[in-house]
Structure 1
């Protein structure tokens, strides 16, 4: 994944000549009220859908995949709404543009960090496959290399490092971006900023939960207070409360990672490792060991499928952010070209 370079953006010292005259006052038309309400009701529905039904759902790859999928849908909804607002890029204020570009580049960085963490988990699966291959044989000679592979798994998982944790300033700065630029005398601008607030809250919350899940550090968790004036506020409050409850239970359990699918595999690896050692010492129950091997194979497959699915969702979100950023930069280039051509025509016009 790579990020595009930003072009030089035109700066109009005497005001943007292409800026449309916005209606004075902050009263919204019935059309703008409808667009805003439709977006906020859709956001509330998505947040309710993400609210875990039980504590065991939080930090499963199934739940995390749903979270990333909904985040993709939310950002696609924003693209649609911006088009419905008919608010050209040339009407965006300098602060809006700077903030959007700043947020988008941070989102791309975070996606890369998540992908790196998921890649480490995939590497661990290759080690497990080697162990399970050795254990498929009925020969007791295969138990020694199988134990060696399980040792390698334990070492790989315990030594993995999260890029999210190492790049914490990105998440720290993200929280500051909840403050929105001031909008005066632009009803469409006010709608856009209110919509962007909801998008940023949902994005920041999901990214912080993912950062905690991968790094295990509570420093990455955020408590976001949302005013109840937003139509989606209650749904978000309920979601945050349920996820925080799952986090507390995870802390009290003493598990080595918040990722539930990874914990399920790790618990079985440890049991199997202990049984193999018993076999080498001459005291293992063969049937019990075979049952555990089957169980480990099943959990390992679930982990792999979950990692693969979540990786695809993270990649999709990356390209949604990237395409939105590219579209904005392309429009800025077009505005700059039109402005330069207009200034050139003025300079060559004869009196």
Structure 2
């Protein structure tokens, strides 16, 4: 997921570079192109906020694990009860639903509606730009649908896009989409509560340790307890680290989308100023 988001950031940075190199004035952009672009960027910012919210929610669960591990350092009946309570709280927290993710499906569906390959007349540069932006949109929708599915544990968020065979990379994309979506659906068919490997490993460690904490440890179980305690601590820390990295990648993508949107709006304002250097004059001559 980290590499996928990195790739998305690189692609959106590349499209900004392409726009600059094409030297296509904003005044020559069709108004519909601009409206569609601005609408898409708003939706991407919304979906980034949803992803960041879920990553933050998962990271907050780390506090319950830290609390449990801290109490388990003291092997007393009172501490074991409190540790058990903390582990219960972690389970409830991780198993709860994030309402922000509920909007992802409608956002993704609206992004799919914008995936038409536009026809451009009398502008070679415009054709290059529109074909490039089509590729960017396909990649963006694909990655975001995978993220939404992984975070929500809902295969309904997976999208199977049809790319026209006239596109040179259509078959390669189709193969990738079939493989990735197929693997995700297979994981969900096994009843997994999460698609995140590191989170799944923490859950397994909690399930292994929980019975020992709940029932009280016998002397013969101390070696197994210490091993499970150490295993949970290591896996919890790894999960916390990968969530931090993923949060930075999503935030980086958010900033790239936002900066691209701001740059276009800035260019539009400059273009309007150039087109009408004396706004509000109503065509009257300016006297010296």
Structure-2-length-normalised TM-score: 0.93
Residue 289 of structure 1: aligned partner: 225
- Taking the TM superposition and a 5 Å limit, the aligned residue runs for 1:11-90 are 64-90=1-27
Over residues 300-336 of structure 1, what are the superposed CA-to-partner deviations in whole Å (9 max), with x where a residue is unaligned?
1111111100100010000000000000000111111
Find out whether 1:102 has 2:39 as its counterpart. yes
In the TM superposition, residue 174 of structure 1 has moved relative to its aligned partner by: 1.1
| Other-structure match for 2:119 | 182
Q: How many residues align?
A: 286
Alignment match, 1:200: 137
Deviations 1:150-186 (A, max 9, x none): 0110111112325122453212211101013331111
Measure the CA separation in 1 of the matches of 2:89 and 2:101.
Answer: 24
User: What residue number does 1:254 align with?
Assistant: 191
Please state how far the C-alpha of 1:233 moved relative to its aligned partner. Answer: 2.5
Q: How far, CA to CA, are the matches of 2:101 and 2:180 in structure 1? A: 19
CA displacement at 1:218 relative to structure 2: 1.8
Distance 2:104 2:140 in 1: 17
Q: CA deviation at 1:228?
A: 3.4
Structure 2 spans left out of the alignment, 5+ residues: none
Higher relative contact order (CA 8 A, sep 6+): 1
Normalising by structure 1, what TM-score?
0.77
> Is the deviation greater in 205-214 or in 242-251?
242-251
SS at 1:230 equivalent:
coil
- RMSD, aligned CA: 1.9
- Deviation string 1:166-211 (CA, Å, 9 cap, x unpaired) is 4532122111010133311111111111001100000000000111
Please give the alpha-carbon distance, in whole angstroms, between the structure 1 residues aligned to 2:160 and 2:148: 14
Deviation at 1:141, TM superposition (A): 4.0
Structure 1 portions without partners, runs of 5+: 1-63
1:98 and 1:211, CA in 2 relative to 1: closer, same or farther beyond 3 A?
same
Instruction: Tell me the residue number matched to 2:254.
Output: 318
Equivalent of residue 238 in structure 2, options 297, 302, 305: 302
Question: 1:125 aligned to 2:62?
Answer: yes
Structure with the bigger percentage of helix: 2
2:109 counterpart of 1:172: yes
Contact kept in structure 2, 1:104 and 1:321, CA below 8 Å: yes
1:233 is matched with which residue: 170, 175, 185? 170
Give the whole-Å Cα distance in 1 for the aligned partners of 2:116 and 2:285. 45
Secondary structure in 1 matching 2:216: helix
Distance 1:248 1:219 in 2: 10
- In structure 2, distance between residues paired with 1:162 and 1:286: 41
**Shift in Å, 1:140:** 4.8
Measure the CA separation in 2 of the matches of 1:141 and 1:191: 69
Counterpart contact for 2:155–2:184, Cα < 8 Å: no
**1:137 Cα deviation (Å)?**
2.8
